[in-house]
Amino acid sequence: MSTDTVCKTETTRVSDRKMSLQERGSRMPRQPTIETKRVSITDADDCVQLNQYTLKKEIGKGSYGVVKLAYNEDSEQYYAMKVVSKKRLMKQCGFLRRLPPQGSNAAFPLEKMYKEIAILKKLDHHNVVKLVEVLDDPDEDGLHMAFDLMTKGPVMEVPTDDPFTEEQARFYFRDLVLGIEYLHYHKIIHRDIKPSNLLLGDDGHVKIADFGVSNEFEGTDALLSSTAGTPAFMAPEMMTEHEQSFSGKALDIWAMGVTLYCFVFGKCPFYDKYIIALHTKIKNTPVEFPETPLISNGLKDLIERMLDKKSETRITIPEIKVLHVWVTENGSDPLPLEEEHCTAVEVTEEEVQNSVKLIPSLSTVILVKTMLRKRSFSNPFECLGRRPGRSMSAPGGLLT
């Protein structure tokens, strides 16, 4: 019998039976036990209970942590739970190991993440994975984000000997174009576009995932100066020895070009097992097309214009979706206009503050587990001689 079943059975027994006159006595009524249906303790070795979510096997890795399969007991649905390391985030942003006090200036990377979370919770597009819920414990390293689960996984694993046909590549690429246009409309640069971050929904359409290194910007474009993302998908302007700023939108366009190349050839256009050699190829080597499979001149032109070494002359999203003949099939199959699939998102300060949902600290979970095993819910730090003869507290499954 599971721990949850035992807890429910014991709850019924305690609530159904009547208290004796001695138990009722003349003492002051005890304070009610804090109860919540979102805390469940399990001793299973293959899963962890996090409020209403049961975290199961690892199904992927993100930019700052892992992604686990999570079952929501309330909705009876599965989700993808991304567990982000706040310490790793702080370290990569140039801060020291110890997390700064909440509200301090040094907490900026986390505050920025919470603002992005507030935005992602409101994003609603057919080609962007939806963020369902965020759970955070201020005393622990993990930040948990529940996303819609894409059971079909990534659109493609690279490298592969079974690339897409041009028709398949066009179908998925058009989804990618609309998703990126939507993100750029809401002033978000993804920064890590690649096939493994494009997940297939049950309807067969691509949904963009993993916003672990994304950037929010103001104005018409982001001016970035730091490197982020996957090396083989990085743009040449990111690899200069001198610190300079570069266009965020152009970075996403380059990564989309590398992704489209992967779609039809099953491999990246620039690759080397040594990072310095890879950077040299990306900066200096022209894109080359294998003899097989044979692709159309229109597709070659689009890839070459997306993989333009000069970001200022690189093709843009409007030019791709409206003007390029390969994407629109010579104008016979136009994509929807920006105003037809993009709507404005406004995020209030209150929504930023409420962007995360607090969960019980790990120490509380361990304490309740200990009390469950001992079947005692009195103060565990009192000496044995001072404890009452027995406890009338509610079973531990209802404690927070």
pLDDT tens digits along 224-282 = 877 788 999 999 999 877 667 889 999 999 999 999 999 999 999 999 999 999 999 99
Rounded to the nearest integer, the mean pLDDT of the chain is 77
Catalytic residue flag (residue 192)? yes
The whole-number average pLDDT for the span 20-46 is 39
Q: What is the band of 306 on the pLDDT scale with cuts at 50, 70, 90?
A: very high
Q: Which residues are annotated as a binding site for ATP?
A: 82
Looking at residue 111, its pLDDT comes to: 73
Phi, psi angle pair for 160, to nearest 5°? -145, 150
pLDDT at 94: 61
**Least confident span in 150-159, 165-174, 206-215:** 206-215
Q: Are 400 and 360 in contact (CB under 8 A)?
A: yes
Please check the confidence at residue 31 and state whether its pLDDT lies above 50.
Answer: no
Q: CB within 8 A of 297, min separation 6: which ones?
A: none
pLDDT of residue 217: 79
The residue from 175, 192, 210, 308 that is catalytic is 192
Q: What's the mean pLDDT in 289-314?
A: 97
How high is the pLDDT of residue 242? 67
pLDDT in tens, 135-167: 887 777 888 888 999 989 999 999 999 999 999
Annotated binding site: 82
pLDDT band at 211 (very low <50, low <70, confident <90, very high): confident
Give the model's pLDDT for residue 225. Answer: 75
Question: Is residue 332 over pLDDT 60?
Answer: yes
**CA dist., res. 263 & res. 381, Å (int):** 61
Checking if the pLDDT of 363 tops 60, the result is no
Superfamily of domain 3-148+350-398: Phosphorylase Kinase; domain 1 (3.30.200.20)
Residue-level pLDDT at 113: 74
Residue 168 has pLDDT above 80, yes or no: yes
Amino acid letter for position 20: S
Closest CA to 309 of 240, 254, 269, 242: 254
CATH code at 166-341? 1.10.510.10
d(CA 372, CA 382): 17
> Domain locations in the chain?
3-148+350-398, 166-341
Q: Enter the pTM of the model.
A: 0.72
Displacement of CA 4 from its chain's centroid (Å): 29
